[in-house]
Amino acid sequence: MLGDLKELWNYRDLVKSLVVRDLTVRYKNSVLGFFWSLANPLVQVATITIIFKYVLAIGIPNYSAYVLCAFLPWMFFQLSLSDAGESVLRQYDLLRKVYFPREALTIASVIANLIHLALALGVFFIYLLALGVAVEPGWLLLPVCVLFNFFLVLGLAFFVSALSVFYEDMRYLVNVATNLFFYCCPIIYVSEQILFSSKIPAGLRERIWEVYHWNPMATFIEGYRQLLLPRFTGAGITDVPLDWRHIALAGVVSFVLMVAGYAFFNSRKWRFAERS
């Protein structure tokens, strides 16, 4: 693996150029392109807000901010994995003709999505300031949260892109799995609802709460919310600060997944060009 990393370092300009290509193509050399790519989450968030505010009446003030704050990292997660499936396959003809570290394709596609997340978070900051949210020192921790979120997504992207080369139906599986996973993350709800749910027996709440945090993405999303937004109260739920054990678990799991994903990708990459 060290040899692979060294080789990747020699090709670092390739990763950079592929990122630039991805962003240029996606935004078609225009600023409007970026706003178009924000349109999808904004429409979803608007819909969710209206439903929760007026139909389901959840009663947490500024609920849209909480949903949007979770939606941006979720878009990063989902788009990165669906792009990862395509990242190697789209360059398949090239792969059979010329050598370069294949992982550059996957890494570049995740980094392109990461830059997109950063831009979206930038817009979100402006939105927060417009709402009158005070600037907090906790915002400085945001890059750490983003970094570990990146490790998690990159690790999964390695698995997805390597398997997509050999199995055509991988993208359907990824699609179904991410749709299901959406509900395992606190996006349209807040995770504290588990702790305050009247439907779950009191003895089980704590245990479910623990198992729920085996999912690093859930912890990250809570992290984004707690770092960026004020504590929420309402609807009989109070904000529970993140537990250090959960943060440590999410960090370790994400890092291990990245290393494991890279090892898996490397064990397969020489067979990409030999696919029957």
Positions that interact with other proteins (CB under 8 A): 11, 13-14, 16-18, 21, 24-25, 28, 91, 93-100, 163, 166-170, 173, 270, 273-274, 276
Choose between 11 and 209: whose C-beta lies nearer to other proteins.
11
Q: Which residues contact 147 (CB under 8 A, 6 or more apart)?
A: none
Choose between 65 and 84: whose C-beta lies nearer to other proteins.
84
The DSSP-derived string for 203-237 is HHHHHHHHHHTT-HHHHHHHHHHHHHSPPPEETTE
Least separation in angstroms between residue 163's CB and other proteins is 8
Least separation in angstroms between residue 182's CB and other proteins is 21
Least separation in angstroms between residue 112's CB and other proteins is 14
Distances (CA, A) of 92 to 121, 166, 172: 33, 12, 20
Choose between 169 and 244: whose C-beta lies nearer to other proteins.
169
Choose between 12 and 231: whose C-beta lies nearer to other proteins.
12
Question: Structure tokens of 252?
Answer: 């370790």
| Nearest-angstrom CA–CA distance, 144 and 227 | 11
Choose between 113 and 164: whose C-beta lies nearer to other proteins.
164
Least separation in angstroms between residue 109's CB and other proteins is 14
Least separation in angstroms between residue 13's CB and other proteins is 4
Count CB atoms within 10 A of the CB of residue 163: 18
By the 8 A CB rule, do 105 and 91 touch?
yes
Distances (CA, A) of 47 to 63, 71, 116: 12, 13, 22
